[in-house]
Structure 1
Amino acid sequence: MNFVIPMAGRGQRFVDAGFKTPKMLIEAKGKSLLEWSIDSLPLELCTNLIFVLLKEHAENHKLDSFVTLKYKKYNPKFVYLDEVTRGQAETVLKAKHLLDMSVDLVIYNIDTAFNSVTLHNTLINNKKDGVIGAFVDLSDSSKYSYAKLDGESNVTEVVEKVKISDFALTGFYHFTNPEDFISLAEMNIQNNNTVKGEYYVAPIYNQLLEKGKNFVIDICQSIDVLGTPEELISFKNA
């Protein structure tokens, strides 16, 4: 499977909080946030590991060297960007030329750690047209993306920042056919079809659902969201 890791943001909330190190290299409990995130994945299924990063993070912080050191056995590839893109979907498209179109596509971020004992099996035996990582969120917050399911546990809708169910998304996005993602991501950019000015990955599932595609969720057993300084502090103190 292709595993694409978009990490070409500047982590502005961490910059504003006084952090000098790029977010993904910040350490917590003996590991960088990048490692906490990547080590959550079923890397044994990965045949093509790609990181998309800012050139400045490679030049000033040796981010690519760090990744190569930690994940050398997976022969990681890199795409270097001069500027921040207009969203995760656009960032992933920057790696299009490195994708193996004959195998699945996994997209994952660098600020969420989770544990799922079922994800490997779901990706092999029950993936349908794609698998979306999720966790049970019983809070009243609507700060995540959410998936709604039908009676047979098939995904019927995915929404950003609106709580349509208790199934919040981890940021793990899988497409059995990479072309499903690429064609719609490119079309959305061509048509300037954004959500609050950004090109997200999650809404693409809705477009594919309209085309008759079928998706399932994989529910993790634990999760640590590390996207803000406050969440990082909570994780360190847990």
Structure 2
Amino acid sequence: MSLNVVITMAGRGSRFYDAGYKVPKYEILAHERSLFDWSVLSLKNFLTPDSRVIFVCLDENKSSEFVLRRIKALGLTDVHIVELKELTDGQATSAYLSRDLWNPEWPLLIYNIDTYVRPQALHPADIRPGSDGWVPCFQVPGDHWSFVKLGDDGWAVDLAEKQRISGNASIGLYWFRRAGRYVELYDRFFNDPKNLVGGEKYIAPLYRQLLAEGGRVSLSDLPLSEVHVLGTPAELDRFLQLPVREL
């Protein structure tokens, strides 16, 4: 399956350094795998020899050698690394800055380095036919997620960042049927500063532009037990307490 896969890992991981960790977040070991490996493992059913995989990193983290060493073990050959000189104003921008490497006619999948999903819970076949966008979700408390609200027909009617418009919280994976469309949506949507949330450019609200232009966005509802968020030291501690057989 020809697919652009963009994994954003261009943060400083300050919370982990503040908690006493001595290596970048993605290098931290948990159950004998790095957090990088856990994240990439989530996409097992999407990553094929035809995939173009792009890692968007922060130059100061010196990620290239580590990423190339780990990704080689997966047998992927069309791999690229974009190293940013400074922090961006959000994940939507971090992904956008790698656009020159995309095949614009292929689908685009954007993922983070903060989440492990059991591979059997994520599969291309889960994308509803006719979808221009797809956002896997799970049911979890709290307001600090991206949310998808569905209409009676099961298609999304709204998406929001850190506004609990529904119980459907994004796992941090965003799919677009055509990568070139993402570029167009980004340029139009963020041309209006009111579409930033707390000064940041998030991906979930970007789908509002897609909906406004007549696109259709679907979701998958993943069991809570299949999703492991690893974005903070506390979340990592909970993950470490799980028996390996449950992962």
- Determine helix, strand or coil for the equivalent of 1:147: strand
Among 196, 202, 205, which residue is 2:198 paired with? Answer: 196
- Determine helix, strand or coil for the equivalent of 1:163: coil
Determine whether 1:88 maps to 2:91: yes
Return the alpha-carbon distance in structure 1 between the equivalents of residues 190 and 157 of structure 2.
Answer: 24
Return the alpha-carbon distance in structure 1 between the equivalents of residues 104 and 6 of structure 2.
Answer: 13
* CA 1:110–1:118: 2 relative to 1, 3 Å: closer
1:4 aligns with 6
Whether the 8 Å contact between 1:6 and 1:53 is mirrored in structure 2 is: yes
1:157 aligns with 158
Identity of aligned residues (%): 34
1:176 aligns with 177
Tell me the TM-score normalised to structure 2 length. 0.87
2:210 aligns with 208
Among 36, 55, 58, which residue is 2:59 paired with? Answer: 55
Return the alpha-carbon distance in structure 2 between the equivalents of residues 56 and 62 of structure 1.
Answer: 13
2:32 aligns with 30
Amino acid at match of 1:105: L
More moved, 127-136 vs 71-80? 71-80
Return the alpha-carbon distance in structure 2 between the equivalents of residues 180 and 102 of structure 1.
Answer: 9
* CA 1:190–1:20: 2 relative to 1, 3 Å: farther
Whether the 8 Å contact between 1:188 and 1:194 is mirrored in structure 2 is: no
Whether the 8 Å contact between 1:119 and 1:218 is mirrored in structure 2 is: no
Determine whether 1:15 maps to 2:22: no
Which runs of no fewer than 5 residues in structure 2 stay unpaired?
243-247
What displacement does 1:232 show?
0.3
Return the alpha-carbon distance in structure 1 between the equivalents of residues 168 and 191 of structure 2.
Answer: 31
What displacement does 1:24 show?
1.1
Amino acid at match of 1:26: I
Return the alpha-carbon distance in structure 2 between the equivalents of residues 217 and 56 of structure 1.
Answer: 35
* CA 1:85–1:22: 2 relative to 1, 3 Å: same
Return the alpha-carbon distance in structure 2 between the equivalents of residues 118 and 152 of structure 1.
Answer: 22
Which runs of no fewer than 5 residues in structure 1 stay unpaired?
none
- Determine helix, strand or coil for the equivalent of 1:9: coil
1:97 aligns with 100
Amino acid at match of 2:184: S
> How many residues are paired up?
234
CA RMSD of aligned residues (A): 1.9
Tell me the TM-score normalised to structure 1 length. 0.90
2:245 aligns with none
Return the alpha-carbon distance in structure 1 between the equivalents of residues 186 and 198 of structure 2.
Answer: 16
